[in-house]
Amino acid sequence: MITINQNLPYSLKGIRKKDFRPHINSKFFFLFSKRLVDIIISLLIIIFLLSWIIPLLGVTIRLNSRGPVFFVQRRVGRGLRSFGCIKFRTMLMNCQADKCSAVENDQRITSLGKFLRKTSLDELPQFINVLKGDMSIIGPRPHMFADCNRFSGYIQYYKMRNIVRPGITGLAQVKGFRGPAENAYSIASRFSYDSLYIKYMGFGLDTNIFLTTISQTLKSIFFRNKVKAKPKRYKKENAEKIAA
């Protein structure tokens, strides 16, 4: 059984799309229970946290820069269905927001947006997506359609990760793969971790990822500590980026 501390070899061998459909069918009880837990937790967070966080951050965001409080972007959901992924707006209004992922020292990111991104607080409105059924709390991060299509040509069976609901956080994220993927190693590692999550998903792994995410978020807020995967060098042509 995989744990979040297990090192992942840079290899995609043995990952086959046909192996996962029977596996998903065998996980009916877990997925049904997981959905119930998603509904309960998202309701609690919306009532007791977002009910005051949204007005507070909403006013702060509007004072910090002109534009709406939320940024809604079309992302790829379960079964390749489109849904509007909700985030607190962290950028200045620009026409490239749906096409170009944020990069390090991106001039489009507001001063408040840097803090929201670093602490992942910009993702909190996605609990609304969870309640609606677009997302789960734990699962592979949803990508933009352009990235999904581009990398399905780069990695065989890439769209296999959309066999389950996308998540607010996942195995790849607690292992340090957050934000835009910067090279082939990062892209393939995220896909590998997503595939391993689907293969080994269960209550124990979900709980471990959830608690680790809370711990990492608190550390990033109070201790300015952010988990980041160690980069590896690859050819320049492979250094494309995807939004996560």
Does residue 129 fall inside a structural domain? yes
Does residue 236 surpass a pLDDT of 50?
A: no
Domain boundaries, position 177: 17-225
Instruction: Please check whether residue 66 lies inside any domain of the structure.
Output: yes
Q: Is the pLDDT of residue 61 over 50?
A: yes
pLDDT of residue 156: 79
| pLDDT tier for residue 221 given thresholds of 50, 70 and 90 | confident
Q: How many CB atoms lie within 10 A of CB 92?
A: 16
> What phi and psi, each to the nearest 5 degrees, are found at residue 15?
-95, 110
Q: Is residue 11 part of a domain?
A: no
φ, ψ dihedrals at 176, nearest 5°: 105, 0
Residue 242 lies in a domain: no
Residue the block writes with tokens 């967070």:
45
Q: What is the rounded CA–CA span in Å between residue 177 and residue 188?
A: 11
For residue 118, name the pLDDT band (cuts at 50, 70, 90): confident
- Contacts (Cβ under 8 Å, ≥6 apart) of 235: 184
| 237 located within any domain | no
Say how far apart CA 149 and CA 221 lie, in whole Å.
Answer: 34
Mean per-residue pLDDT for 138-160? 86
238 lies in a domain? no
The answer to whether the beta carbons of residues 76 and 145 sit under 8 Å apart is yes
Tell me, yes or no, whether 243 lies in a domain. no
Residues belonging to the chain: 244
Identify the pLDDT of residue 234.
42
Question: What band does 237 get if pLDDT is binned at 50, 70 and 90?
Answer: very low
The rounded distance, in Å, linking the Cα atoms of 58 and 41 is 22
10 confidence band (pLDDT: 50, 70, 90): very low
Is beta strand 82-88 parallel, antiparallel or unpaired with respect to 70-76?
antiparallel
Q: 72-89, pLDDT tens digit by residue?
A: 999 999 999 999 999 999
85 falls within a domain? yes
Please give the single-letter amino acid code of residue 203. Answer: F
Tally of structural domains, the chain: 1
Sign of CA dihedral 227, 229, 231, 235: negative
Query: By percentage, how much of the chain surpasses pLDDT 70?
Result: 78
